[in-house]
Amino acid sequence: MRTKPVRLALAVAALAAIATACPALAADFQPPSSPGRLFRIVNASFDSVTALEVANNDATAYEPINLREPLQGGLTSTTVRLPDGSCLRDVRATFRDGRSEVYRDIDVCKASGLRLSAKGLPAAH
Alpha carbons 57 and 105: distance in angstroms, whole number: 6
Is pTM, for the whole model, over 0.85?
no
Sheet holding 49-56, edge to edge: 63-65, 49-56, 88-95, 100-107
pLDDT at 41: 94
Residue 6 clears pLDDT 90, i.e. is over it: no
CA pseudo-torsion sign 71, 76, 80, 85: positive
| CATH number of the structural domain 38-124 | 2.60.40.2890
Residues forming beta bridges with residue 38, ordered by sequence position: 81
Average confidence score pLDDT of the chain: 81
Residue 18 clears pLDDT 80, i.e. is over it: no
Residue 73 clears pLDDT 50, i.e. is over it: yes
